[in-house]
Amino acid sequence: MSMNAKSPTAGNLDRIDVAILDVLRREGRITYQKLSERVHLSPRPCLERVKKLEQRGVIRGYSAIVDQQRIAPGLSLLVLVALSNQSGRAAQRAFEARVQVCPEVIECHLVSGAFEYSLRMHCRDMNHYLLVTEEWLNDAELHIDKLVSHPELTRVKPAYG
């Protein structure tokens, strides 16, 4: 993407682009022929639009949706993390570096409000979760003030699939 190119926003996407994204979000392996039929566009222009969406970074990639419980049964949790008020940006960088290399952390989001981070974690069981988070709490560099965990009971609406 060139330095002068506009960053993509909802304003630069027309209804066909939005329709293409909606189909690809649910069916990433669909053929261009079927995609073009779904969005009422001939295959060549449909392919060109997908390529443009990829080049602009609107479509960042394609991946498989993996059922974590089937490959590693265990405990899925939503974990909220608050850092101490005087921790500063260095503690944020340290925490972010730690979660990047932690295989139990599936997702991490910086959020606003009473907590700095929202994590999705997958652990073997509650003892495994306690070992991981206890290590974090004992690391003074991270400045963790509070962890609040919410075990996942059932998935009502999955993010994908």
Domains of the chain, by residue range, sit at 10-55, 68-151
**Higher pLDDT among residues 18 and 87, named by residue:** 18
Query: What fold characterizes domain 10-55?
Result: Arc Repressor Mutant, subunit A (1.10.10)
Residues 121-140 pLDDT 10s = 999 999 999 999 999 999 99
**pLDDT digit string (tens) for 65-80?**
777 778 878 999 999 9
Q: Which 8-state DSSP code applies to residue 108? A: E
φ/ψ of residue 140, rounded to 5: -60, -25
**Assigned CATH class of 68-151:** alpha beta
Q: What pLDDT score was predicted for residue 9?
A: 54
Burial class of residue 117 (count of CB atoms within 10 Å of its CB; 0-12, 13-18, 19+): buried
Which run of H or E residues covers position 85?
none
Quick count: other Cβ atoms within 10 Å of Cβ 54? 13
Q: Compute φ and ψ for 156, nearest 5 degrees.
A: -85, -45
Alpha helix (H) residue ranges in 39-83: 43-55, 68-71
Burial of 119 (0-12, 13-18, 19+ CB in 10 A): buried
Q: Residue 116 CB: number of other CB atoms within 10 A?
A: 20
pTM value is 0.72
Interacting residues of 84 by C-beta distance below 8 A, sequence separation 6+:
91, 143, 144, 145
